Copies of this chain bind each other. A is one copy, B any other.
């Protein structure tokens, strides 16, 4: 049986082969092709039994209709929700997602980037970790389509989509102060990731505009690797050294979860004495034994914006170094 080609479809319908090609490559929307026409092309392709030969096309066009997604850990709810949003959004263009977890290790992320490039992904969506600067510089030099999500490097030009970590953090801490809290402790990670540093700067600014001085004994930084042990140690030190602490602010949901676990295990549950807040939360937090107020990250929009950027680049429409910033949802802080 003769293989059905794009020409066969174009002849049968009396439309141009270019138009058929755009539709079959998922670019109908972008090329403003009439919906009805696009539907007819897809129906005819199905009727004739047209099958795209991805690999042959990838060899010919250099496009694999696949995106490489490099993140810290797919099993972390933040990243699995982000992966889902990216999957949904990029499916509209007929693309699929190949993924890899770096565990915040730049050697791993560097390898993933190289492997995905070797597999001829059309673009990369990267949540970079500390030490990824050289990998990003290399992508810039090669003009390889990529977009950074959740983190970026101020000194390296890049297309990136960020959450307003500074602004969200400021509002949460400012809210704690306005509700009368005097000694607000902060637990963060001991890494130079811009998203986490911006949360620290938001904390600092909220103290400053309210006339509070920074008390270094109230700030603890823990490592990714030993997060459980070190968060427990931080909680213990905070509560023992500073009996007057009346609020603890966690830089993310994992830290908040471990902090609450520590408090419950140690029967510390007087929220009049100790208020809790976190930059972001989990769905289940309202059902916990202790109340905590938290912001909600715009994860779905993060994925949508990242896909928008990478598809524009793939189709040669994106200007470089576009920095997008998405606001936090702060409806749950109180």
- Give the residue name and chain of the B residue nearest to A290 (CB): B287
A21 contacts chain B at the CB level, 8 A cutoff: no
The answer to whether A75 and B66 touch across the interface, beta carbons within 8 angstroms, is no
CA distance A58 to B53 in the complex (A): 13
The answer to whether B120 and A54 touch across the interface, beta carbons within 8 angstroms, is yes
- Give the residue name and chain of the B residue nearest to A95 (CB): B115
Q: What chain B residues lie within 8 Å of A119 (beta carbons)? A: 54-55, 64, 66, 96
Query: Would you give the 0/1 interface string for A245-257, flagging 1 where the beta carbon is closer than 8 Å to chain B?
Result: 0000000000001
A300 to chain B, nearest CB (A): 10
A274 to chain B, nearest CB (A): 16
A218 contacts chain B at the CB level, 8 A cutoff: no
**Given A58-B55, A118-B53: A99 and B101 interface contact (C-beta under 8 Å):** no
A98 contacts chain B at the CB level, 8 A cutoff: yes
A77 to chain B, nearest CB (A): 7
The answer to whether B100 and A87 touch across the interface, beta carbons within 8 angstroms, is yes
From A78-86, A200-208, A315-323, the one touching the partner chain is A78-86
The answer to whether B80 and A74 touch across the interface, beta carbons within 8 angstroms, is yes
The answer to whether A101 and B118 touch across the interface, beta carbons within 8 angstroms, is no
CA distance A115 to B74 in the complex (A): 22
A222 contacts chain B at the CB level, 8 A cutoff: no
Query: Would you give the 0/1 interface string for A266-293, flagging 1 where the beta carbon is closer than 8 Å to chain B?
Result: 0000000000000000111011110000
The answer to whether B80 and A75 touch across the interface, beta carbons within 8 angstroms, is yes
The answer to whether A59 and B66 touch across the interface, beta carbons within 8 angstroms, is no
A95 to chain B, nearest CB (A): 10
**Given A118-B53, A119-B96, A287-B261: A75 and B84 interface contact (C-beta under 8 Å):** yes
Q: What chain B residues lie within 8 Å of A54 (beta carbons)? A: 118-120
A311 contacts chain B at the CB level, 8 A cutoff: no
A156 contacts chain B at the CB level, 8 A cutoff: no
Q: What chain B residues lie within 8 Å of A76 (beta carbons)? A: 80
A18 to chain B, nearest CB (A): 22
A59 to chain B, nearest CB (A): 6
- Give the residue name and chain of the B residue nearest to A263 (CB): B287
A13 contacts chain B at the CB level, 8 A cutoff: no
Instruction: From B51, B87, B116, give the contact of A99 (CB < 8 A).
Output: B87
5 closest A-B pairs by beta carbon, nearest first, are A80-B80, A75-B84, A98-B98, A54-B118, A75-B81
Sample (5) of A-B pairs whose CB atoms are under 8 Å apart: A54-B118, A83-B99, A97-B100, A261-B286, A284-B284
Contacts A74-B84, A80-B80 supplied; 12 other A-B pairs, CB < 8 Å: A55-B58, A59-B59, A66-B98, A66-B119, A74-B74, A74-B83, A75-B81, A98-B98, A99-B99, A257-B284, A261-B286, A287-B289
